Amino acid sequence: MTTATPDTHRTVRALDVKADAFSTVANAIEDMYRDTLDVILARGAFPRAPLAAAGDFLDRDDHNPGWTRPNEKMPVEDIQLLGTDTPATPTYRAPTGDSLDAYLSSAAKHLGEAERVWKGAFEATGEIQRALARFAGGRPVELPKASDGRSYLPYTLRRLTDGKQIGIHHDYHYPLSLYSELAPQVDTQTLVSWVATLRKPDSGGDLFVYGVTATTPDAPKMPNGFQYDLAAIEQRYHFARFTPEIGDLFLLASGRCLHRIDKIVGPKARVTMGGFLALDKDRRRVFFWS
């Protein structure tokens, strides 16, 4: 983890913690809600061997396990997703997201494609719950269900190949129509992203987090008024860079802080597993989904 450029507004508050010290950050999710912590990089949160095996398997071009490409219209951000064809986020294919019904139907239809990747060596949903619970302050960690009983998607697998990136953005998704049932159940003060690394590229793929929030006044944007001006952001504001290893987990207050994934360079892809989480309205439970 490194910081760069002088701090002109707020700093990125981050912790880099090894597995034997997780108990010292047991309330990290609530700390993110309290706005005293922006990022935690939890080293060795997941067993390395099954994640590495899955990452190797997924980074092959001689077979397609079911990838969908919701950002194909923007080639530099052409991320590959496994586990759904209807992400719980805006995409270049659906800038305002899809319907809740489409999301839930896709979760039921495609989750098996992701689960087959583990070949019985890793029970992903349970392992994710256990890992997130270590930072939940004793709260139960639950996968939400819709009013009709259908489950939200527990995780997706993601692949970024040579030349691909995730541009600078916030992840405040609650206004999307597919959150019509979930948003009223959670504390919408922020949204937290969780991501585990399965395969690390030779170069690129680092997480950059910026001390810029949705309420930062006059955060520089491009002439179109929509995209952030990355060069100006990096010149004016404090930021931090994170390089996760296989088995590491990061939690990021992505609904608050601007962030991006650096462009991949070389033949090895960045393969990850991830989603989102939030405290419920009473801050007694943690919901996670993807």
pLDDT above 50 (res 61): yes
- Return the beta strands (E) in 134-281 as ranges: 141-142, 156-160, 166-169, 192-199, 207-210, 239-242, 249-252, 259-261, 270-279
Per-residue pLDDT averaged across 87-97, rounded? Answer: 96
Average pLDDT over residues 20-38: 98
Q: Which two tokens stand for residue 176?
A: 């999307």
* 6 pLDDT above the threshold of 90: no
* Of the listed ranges 67-71, 213-217, 236-240, 276-280, the one predicted with least confidence: 213-217
Domains in the chain, number: 1
pLDDT of 4 strictly over 70: no
Q: What is the pLDDT of residue 2?
A: 43
pLDDT band at 64 (very low <50, low <70, confident <90, very high): very high
Query: What CATH number should be reported for the domain holding residue 170?
Result: 2.60.120.620
Whether residue 211 has pLDDT greater than 80: yes
Whether the pLDDT of residue 8 is over 80: the answer is no
Q: Which of 202, 195, 209, 191 is nearest to 277 (CA)?
A: 191
Look at residue 226 in the predicted model and tell me its pLDDT: 83
pTM of the model: 0.95
pLDDT confidence tier of residue 224, bands split at 50, 70 and 90: confident
- Compute CA distances 222 → 15, 96, 128, 197, 234, whole Å: 31, 21, 38, 31, 14
pLDDT above 90 (res 50):
yes
* Residue 225's pLDDT band (cuts 50, 70, 90): confident
Straight-line distance from the first to the last Cα atom of the chain, in angstroms, rounded to the nearest whole number: 26
What pLDDT shows up at residue 47?
A: 98
pLDDT over 70 at 134, yes or no: yes
Domain with 202, as residue range(s), is 2-289
Contact predicate 104/177, CB 8 Å: no
